[in-house]
């Protein structure tokens, strides 16, 4: 029986990830000729924007078969501005391949990728690429992996086989199994047992093989494929009830909406009914009208798909990225979110509704855009990671919708919270209506969002109305009083409420709930939170003083610098508002052949207190 495996390729930009994917596809006879990024003919970078810029922007997939496995290969973006696209792909990976340059080694975005992989507990293999380049140093890169990522990375030379296992590899694997360690110390270990322990330990995320070669020069690819087949396995239950995760949405020119799924159990056929929870918290059941398997740009229409496969379906009108389908009802959570907001600028003669509709389609495909229409100002806003993403979006809108738009200067996305517990009471009682809501609002853990709790007794308010209040607390963003930014990191508890037998309707509790929240915030000490970067800077030793001074002036903080040879590494954090353009400033330090790197990690959900705007609003 063919084993379905989803393998993700991740890397810092320019590590050779797409070239590596081309070699895998060529060696498995999935493509007839190898493309190259610089020749603009790679199999997975098919979009004109990707060809023009020479980087991966959209996470695309390709199919390949090798021995007893069917692999779905996902090539993810390596540029930090498109890291949200990369993170969405993580939800469906069985294994991840992290590509490192043998010259540059571990870079800033590599560490961001690594943290996400460990959070999602995805088994990971390293491939050190570009071993043909001048300055390539496998041992130095391995030392960086041990120091910056994990001490449990182990080098694998050549092809793994029962007859050929190096002593250092056996020793590293034996540390993870008591019986194998005892046998190894006695000099009587079973090589088959070593491979079994290595496979299971790697799958648990306790061991990380490191292989090497050159994708451009076709070195180490056959060995990698052999080792990948030996070390990876999946156990999907094809006889269980259907469950799947939506990881991508795409709108076709004809108006068809495609929902890309990873089936985690059972199977799916055309005309099957699929149930899921929509964005309003309502149970939806819809019929699948077609199934497609994608290989690059091309697709094949199929009648059935099984557990472990990636499939595109039509017919799910309300499904969103991250939704669980069937038995998998839990929605996915994402860590990387934008820290910038930009206004969409377009010709006033254009139909506002048409522009809104186009951007809502883009928002369905990329939820991190968080498309917002400000009714009061009649303005459209989106959230973005950086300037490169805005440039790409401008071209995407023109290519897909023939719409000329530009974007305003990006603004920082702040949020607000409160310092202490308060209570708010909301009344709504115009003629013929009545609702009353009592809420307690208290600070929650940082990055927890808004959490609703219910401590109202059914004797005071019916369960139906209580659930309605909880829905109104969570249904949309509520704005703070300092800057009008969304408030977050609070626990909202329903204490009590009242309704009228004759005059109360459901909409009354929406008004009463919002008034209770507002009154609570008016009594609270309100706090402004700001997004910040985590950074890693590499400079020559003679510039370390200047860089540390720049960080302090930007109100950042950093750990004691680490020195390796004639270079220093500085790790720290700094506000996005003061540090967002520092990469360009650091590049201006360049002299001759020297290189200075400033790797700003993608913004996480983390926000921190902005001390200068901690304000109490009292009435």
Q: DSSP string covering 444-500, please?
A: --TT--EEEEE---TTTS-HHHHHHHHHHHHSS--B-SSSSPBB-SEEEEEEEEEE-
DSSP letter string over 541-581?
GGGHHHHHHHHHHTT-EEPPPEEETTEEEEEEEEEHHHHTT
Residue (of 534, 539, 555) closest to 601 by Cα position: 534
Rounded (10°) angle between helices 191-203 and 178-186: 150
| Residue 129, token pair as written in the block | 């690429």
CATH superfamily, domain 340-413, is: Elongation Factor G (Translational Gtpase), domain 3 (3.30.70.870)
Q: What is the CATH number of domain 530-614?
A: 3.30.70.240
The residue whose two tokens read 């959070």 is 119
CB neighbours of residue 460 within 10 Å? 14
Q: Helix or strand or coil: residue 275?
A: strand
Please give the model's pTM, rounded to 2 decimal places. 0.81
Long-range contacts of 344-351 (CB under 8 A, 24+ apart): 344/379, 344/380, 344/381, 344/382, 344/405, 344/407, 344/408, 345/405, 345/406, 345/407, 345/408, 346/380, 346/403, 346/404, 346/405, 346/406, 347/404, 350/403
Residue 162 phi, psi dihedral angles, 5° rounding = -60, -30
Q: What CATH fold (topology level) applies to the domain 3-231?
A: Rossmann fold (3.40.50)
Same fold, 340-413 and 530-614: yes
Rounded (10°) angle between helices 221-231 and 17-27: 80
Residue 545 phi, psi dihedral angles, 5° rounding = -65, -40
Q: What CATH fold (topology level) applies to the domain 416-523?
A: Ribosomal Protein S5; domain 2 (3.30.230)
Contact 81, 87 (CB under 8 A): no
Provide the pairing of β-strand 95-101 with 124-129.
parallel
Residue (of 427, 426, 369, 359) closest to 397 by Cα position: 359
Q: Supply the pLDDT for residue 52.
A: 58
How far is it, in rounded angstroms, from Cα 494 to Cα 489? Answer: 17
Per-domain boundaries in the chain: 3-231, 243-326, 340-413, 416-523, 530-614
Q: What is the CATH number of domain 243-326?
A: 2.40.30.10
Residue 51 phi, psi dihedral angles, 5° rounding = -65, -40
Residue (of 532, 520, 448, 531) closest to 489 by Cα position: 448
Residue (of 313, 231, 324, 309) closest to 276 by Cα position: 324
Could you report the average pLDDT of every consecutive run of 10 residues in the chain (619 residues)?
91 86 90 62 57 63 91 84 84 94 86 88 96 93 92 90 82 90 86 90 94 93 94 92 94 87 95 87 89 90 95 92 91 81 89 90 90 85 87 89 91 89 93 93 88 94 92 88 88 94 85 94 90 80 88 90 83 84 72 46 51 35
Contact 295, 329 (CB under 8 A): no
């Amino acid at each position: 029986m063919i084993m379905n495996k989803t393998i993700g390729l991740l890397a810092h930009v320019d590590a050779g990830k797409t070239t590596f994917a081309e070699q895998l596809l060529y060696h498995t006879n999935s493509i007839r000729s190898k493309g190259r990024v610089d020749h603009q003919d790679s199999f997975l970078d098919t979009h004109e924007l990707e060809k023009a810029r020479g980087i991966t922007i959209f996470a695309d997939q390709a199919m390949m078969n090798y021995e007893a496995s069917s692999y779905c290969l996902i090539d993810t973006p390596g540029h930090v501005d498109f890291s949200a696209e990369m993170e969405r792909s993580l939800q469906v990976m069985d294994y991840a391949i992290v590509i490192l340059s043998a010259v540059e080694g571990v870079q800033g975005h590599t560490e961001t990728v690594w943290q996400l992989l460990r959070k999602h507990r995805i088994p990971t293999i390293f491939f050190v690429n570009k071993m043909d380049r001048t300055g390539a140093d496998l041992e130095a890169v391995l030392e960086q992996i041990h120091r910056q990522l994990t001490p449990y990375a182990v080098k694998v030379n050549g092809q793994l086989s029962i007859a050929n296992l190096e002593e250092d590899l056996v020793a590293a694997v034996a540390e993870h199994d008591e019986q194998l360690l005892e046998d190894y110390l006695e000099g009587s270990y079973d090589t088959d047992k070593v491979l079994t322990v290595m496979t299971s330990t790697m799958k648990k995320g306790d061991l990380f093989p490191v292989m090497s070669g050159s994708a451009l020069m076709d070195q180490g690819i056959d060995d990698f494929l052999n080792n990948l087949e030996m070390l990876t396995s999946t156990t999907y239950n094809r006889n269980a009830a259907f469950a799947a995760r939506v990881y991508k949405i795409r709108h076709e020119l004809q108006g068809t909406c495609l929902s890309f799924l990873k089936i985690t159990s059972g199977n799916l056929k055309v005309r099957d009914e699929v149930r899921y929870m929509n964005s309003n918290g309502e149970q939806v059941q819809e019929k699948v009208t077609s199934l497609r398997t994608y290989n690059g740009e091309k697709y094949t229409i199929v009648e059935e798909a099984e557990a472990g496969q990636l499939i595109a379906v039509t017919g799910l009108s309300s499904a969103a990225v991250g939704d669980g389908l069937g038995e998998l009802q839990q929605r996915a959570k994402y860590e990387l979110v934008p820290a910038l907001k930009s206004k969409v600028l377009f010709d006033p003669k254009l139909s506002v509704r048409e522009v809104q509709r186009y951007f809502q389609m883009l928002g369905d495909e990329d939820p991190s855009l968080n498309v917002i229409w400000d009714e009061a100002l009649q303005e459209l806003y989106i959230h973005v990671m950086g300037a490169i993403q805005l440039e790409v979006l401008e071209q995407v809108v023109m290519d897909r919708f023939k719409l000329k738009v530009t974007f305003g200067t990006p603004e920082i996305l702040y949020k607000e919270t409160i310092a202490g517990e308060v209570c708010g009471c909301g009344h709504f009682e115009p003629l013929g209506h009545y609702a009353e809501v009592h809420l307690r609002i208290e600070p929650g853990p940082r990055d927890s969002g808004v959490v609703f709790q219910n401590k109202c007794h059914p004797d005071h308010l019916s369960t139906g109305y209580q659930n309605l209040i909880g829905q109104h607390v969570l249904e949309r963003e509520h704005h703070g009083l300092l800057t009008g930014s969304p408030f977050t990191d609070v626990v909202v508890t329903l204490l009590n409420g009242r309704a009228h037998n004759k005059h109360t309707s459901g909409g009354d509790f929406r008004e009463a709930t919002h008034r209770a929240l507002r009154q609570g915030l008016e009594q609270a000490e309100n706090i402004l939170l700001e997004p910040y970067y985590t950074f890693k800077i590499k400079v020559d030793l003679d510039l370390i003083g200047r860089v540390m001074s720049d960080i302090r002036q930007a109100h950042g903080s950093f750990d004691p610098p680490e020195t390796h040879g004639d270079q220093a590494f500085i790790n720290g954090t700094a506000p996005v508002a003061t540090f967002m353009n520092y990469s360009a400033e650091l590049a201006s330090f360049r002299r001759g052949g020297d290189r200075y790197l400033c790797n700003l990690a993608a913004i996480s959900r983390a926000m921190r207190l902005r001390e200068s705007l901690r304000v109490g609003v009292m009435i």
